[in-house]
Every structure is written in structure tokens, then in C-alpha cells.
Structure 1
Amino acid sequence: MTTTRPAHAVMVLVSRRARPGHEAALEATWARLSEVAATFPGYVGGQLIRPGDSGADGDERLFHMLFAFDNPAHLRAWQASPARLLGLQALEPHVEGHAVVRELSGLDHWFTPSATTPATPPPRWKVAVVTWLGIYPTVLFLFLAVAPWLDAWPLPLRTAVITCLVVVLMTWLVAPTLTRWLRPWLHARPTAT
């Protein structure tokens, strides 16, 4: 009898540089591509990270497109689809250079090294510490500031709102800020003794 490991959510981060003056067209094309991806089984969500949103790139035309699926098989089905190929062809007139594609899982996208940091990812225990340092105050703040307004709502709905706000705050504010502040510690090389 063979057993298989349970599937896990996966994300693909695609980095593309917009042609000068094509930034708005790139965004509109990505939005259409994301709408098509949403019709595929297992699609969890997508996000367009505009130049400057990540705070680390310094390239005013570098966009990052994130697609998330609930398991690798659903991601592969999307990647092999004619609909995705048509979307990529529609994107091509608005970009220059080659795509940089990274497959991520879990919280990896918050801790992916930039061009100015070492290529070695931080140890898992450091990722766990930084993740907790971001999630704890974020959840505490939301329970103090938002939860009282939701007291009359059913528990599943309250939980959905709070967790959605945690994800939004962690993705666009807390995690990028913490990883920028703690980058020297996250990517510190062990000292020889």
C-alpha cells in the first residue's frame, strides 16, 4: 500500500517589467488573466504587486503577479491551459525582458530574498519568529479595534472578517515592513567559532 503526502497550497510569483508607458495596460491585462484563473478549480486568489508596493525593488516598472491554487495539481492544470497561454500572449506587448517565475508555498513569499540579500533563505525558526512577531500584534489589534463591532455577527462570519483583515495587513503592511527591518538578522550568516 502506498501513501501520498497531502496536497498543500502553492503560489506562483511571476515578475515582469512593463514597457515604458504600458503600465496601465499591463495592469488591465493582468486583471483579465486573473478573472480567467478564478474560473479554474482550486484557484485561491491572485494579487498584483505594483512597483514600489514591496518596498525593495527600486525598479519603477517591475510588477509581480501572484497566483495561488489549493494544490499543485490544480496549479499545473492552470499552467497547462490554453486560456493561460492566451492571457500570456495578451500580456506580451506590454512587457519587456523575460519572466522570472518562482513557485512558493506557505509564507515563503514574505521571506524571498531580494537582489540585495543573500540567495540563501533564512532558517525556518527565524521565519516562524518573524511570522509570530507580525501575526500576534495584528490579531491583538483587530480583536481590540474591530471585534467589538462584530459581536452580533455569527462566529464564522466574524472569523472570516478578522482573518481576511489579518491576511491583508500581513501581506501589504506588516510582513514587508518586518522583513525589511529584520533583513540583516533573517539573512545573517553563521559566524565561525
Structure 2
Amino acid sequence: MEEGSSACLVLSQEVPKYLGDEYRSWHQKLVDVALDCDGLLEVNLLEPVSNIQNEWVQIFQFDTVAHLETFLGNNLLKDLIAFLEKKFSVEVVSQVIAGADQLTVPVTIVISKKVKPEFFREYMQWQKEIDKALKKYPGFLGAGLTKPIKGVQEEWVAIFRFDSNKHLDSWLNSDEHRRLVKRGEGFFEDVKIKRIGHGFEDWFSRARGRAQDTAPSQWKMAMLILLMLYPIVMVITMWLLPLVESWPFATTNFFINLLIVASLTWVAMPLITRAFNIWLSDKSGQLTKINTIGTLIIIVLYGVSIMLVAWLSSLNLK
């Protein structure tokens, strides 16, 4: 495992859903600890989903394994986890996963396994058969396998991703899956399976989890949307719009708006919210250093965008 690869910590706890408000407040305390650590990319809180996922799942994604290790070693984090277990009388199950971007899909199965040393070769061959079989099933989006990380996790972690719960269940309930699982039962000392519900769809919920009360300030969201929307609209207007001018007016406008929304949702906003994660997280409303510097940077970027678009327009006219 390369130290430079991304990694995340997944915490899960079976807490009754009616205690959700209280659990979210404690999740926020964990988020505050994560925000004080270097390399934090994203935080998500997934609530229980009936008949799919019984636990609350907290996901803390870091840019490197080293930064995640620093977070794991934080004494305040350890104290908060111990308090959660005592308060709700339920164990907090933790799992470290490398390549954390693999979790950002509609539905994911995370399987951690302690492989018996004498069955290492058999396990690797068995895992290849699993991967080969998965590719035949509808809705399969990809799979990943991470090795144990010395001092962090002892297990091998396999991740399977599907576009829907229906397609995932089709694989899990298949005769082929049952046959492969039965054949591999003797390879492991311990197996833990985690099913993580749906994808992360909101532009800004990534900064501090999914709870509504953690959303960034509206003026900050507006500033970032404008920062991304302006260059996208101008580029489409200058280079793409002339190519579709002959189309019917309604069709042209629908197509242009479709491109703008898609660009914002799946490209621009995920990138910019990660880049300004710390700035978005400061909701104090005060003239803090973080708020001031972040706002000034965005204003400068506005000017750069305007000058760049003006320059490109002049080239386009020549």
C-alpha cells in the first residue's frame, strides 16, 4: 500500500433511528476533530435504510494513508468513539479502506477478511474468480481489493459496487455467488460485511456530512456556484452554441441547460467543494482568517475568469 494513496475510515453503529438528532450532534463532534487534521477530503453520514442498512455509517476520507493514521491516533477521536459506545451501549465498528473514492456510488458492499496464511494463494485465485463472475451481472460498476496496512488494519478489504440495490441483490442471491462463497469459507479466520446504502448526491453535503443542519452558509454556496457556472456558460456559449444554432429554439435551450447542469453536478461542484472544504466548514459568520482568505481567493478567481473569458472571446472574434 503506497503511503500516498487515499484512504478513509468507516465507522458504523446500530443506533435506533429515533435517536437520530442526538447521533447527528455527536457525529458533528467527530467531524470537528477531522477538520483539525491535515488531508481531510470528505465526510459523509449515512442514515439507516429500512431492509438495507441497519447502522448509521460515518465515512471520513483523507488524501493519504499517513494523514488518516494521524486522525486515527487523535486522542480526542478515541475518547469520542469510547463515549459513543458507552452512551448508546452498542459497539462502534471501524474499518479502514484505501482508495476511498470507490465508495461514492449508489450501493457498495465492503467485505473485510482475515485470510489464513496457509490459504493465501488459494484466496487470491478465488478472488479472481469472484471478480470474473461479477462482470457478468447487470449493474456491476467495479470492484477493488486492498491489502492489509501494517499498523492500521489486518484485513484484506474487497469492495463491490453496483448501480442499484436490485442489481446487487441479484448477484448476492445468485447460485454462482453461493457456490463461490461456500468454496472460500475455509480460507478465512474472520469475515465482516458492510452494506453502504446510496450515493452521495448533494453538491455541498460532502463538506461536513449529510445532516441538514451542517449545510454551508447560503452566501458561500452562491459564490461557489457562480464561480463554476460563469466559465461553463461562457465556454458553451462561445464554442458549442454556434454548432447548434440551426436547431429549434426549445431543443437548443434544453440541450445547453442539460450540459450546464451535468457539468455542475458531476464535475465542477464536487471539485470546487473539495478545494474549498475548510472555507465551507466555517459557518461562524465572523470575520475569521479562514472566511476572509477563502472569500478573497474566490473574488480573485472571479477576476481571473472574467479576464480569461475576455481573452478567449477576442481570439474567437479574430
**Where on the TM-score scale, by shorter chain, does this alignment land: which range?**
0.5 to 0.7
Residue 16 of structure 1 is aligned with which of 13, 18, 21?
13
Q: Which residue of 2 aligns with 1:47?
A: 44
Residue 141 of structure 2 is aligned with which of 127, 148, 171?
127
After superposition, the C-alpha distances for 1:9-54 in whole angstroms (9 at most, x for unaligned) are 111111101157533211101111111211101111211101118x
Unmatched tracts of structure 2, length 5 or more:
112-126, 144-159, 165-200, 202-224, 236-259, 272-318
Residues 56, 133 of structure 1: alpha-carbon distance in 2 compared, 3 angstrom cutoff: closer
Residues 85, 127 of structure 1: alpha-carbon distance in 2 compared, 3 angstrom cutoff: same
Q: Distance in 1 between matches of 2:88 and 2:19?
A: 8
- Give 1:13's aligned amino acid: V
Aligned CA RMSD, in angstroms, stands at 4.2
Q: Once the 2 structures are TM-superposed, how far is the Cα of residue 164 of structure 1 from its aligned partner?
A: 5.8
TM-score scaled to structure 2, two decimals?
0.36
TM-score scaled to structure 1, two decimals?
0.55
Residues 68, 5 of structure 1: alpha-carbon distance in 2 compared, 3 angstrom cutoff: closer
Residue 69 of structure 1 is aligned with which of 55, 62, 69?
62
| Number of matched pairs | 142
Give yes or no for contact 1:38–1:45 (8 Å, CA) kept in 2: no
Unmatched tracts of structure 1, length 5 or more:
139-145, 168-193
- Give 1:163's aligned amino acid: V
Specify the structure having the higher radius of gyration (Cα). 2
Q: Once the 2 structures are TM-superposed, how far is the Cα of residue 94 of structure 1 from its aligned partner?
A: 3.6
Give yes or no for contact 1:10–1:68 (8 Å, CA) kept in 2: yes
Q: Distance in 1 between matches of 2:81 and 2:34?
A: 12
- Give 1:78's aligned amino acid: F
Residue 37 of structure 1 is aligned with which of 22, 25, 34?
34
Give 3-state SS (helix, strand or coil) of 1:97's partner.
Answer: coil
Residues 161, 114 of structure 1: alpha-carbon distance in 2 compared, 3 angstrom cutoff: closer
Q: Once the 2 structures are TM-superposed, how far is the Cα of residue 99 of structure 1 from its aligned partner?
A: 2.3
Q: Distance in 2 between matches of 1:113 and 1:152?
A: 38
Query: Is the aligned partner of 1:113 residue 2:109?
Result: yes
Q: Distance in 2 between matches of 1:152 and 1:91?
A: 45
Q: Which residue of 1 aligns with 2:75?
A: 82
More helix by percentage: 2
- State, as a whole percentage, how many aligned pairs show the same letter: 13
After superposition, the C-alpha distances for 1:77-120 in whole angstroms (9 at most, x for unaligned) are 110111212222332344333222222224443464379xxxx7
Query: Is the aligned partner of 1:101 residue 2:94?
Result: yes
Q: Distance in 2 between matches of 1:122 and 1:108?
A: 15
- Give 2:52's aligned amino acid: A
Give 3-state SS (helix, strand or coil) of 1:29's partner.
Answer: helix
Q: Which residue of 1 aligns with 2:229?
A: 150
Q: Which residue of 2 aligns with 1:163?
A: 267
Q: Distance in 2 between matches of 1:14 and 1:133?
A: 23
- Identify the structure with bigger relative contact order (alpha carbons < 8 Å, sequence gap 6+): 1
- Give 1:98's aligned amino acid: E
Give 3-state SS (helix, strand or coil) of 2:109's partner.
Answer: coil
Residues 32, 122 of structure 1: alpha-carbon distance in 2 compared, 3 angstrom cutoff: farther
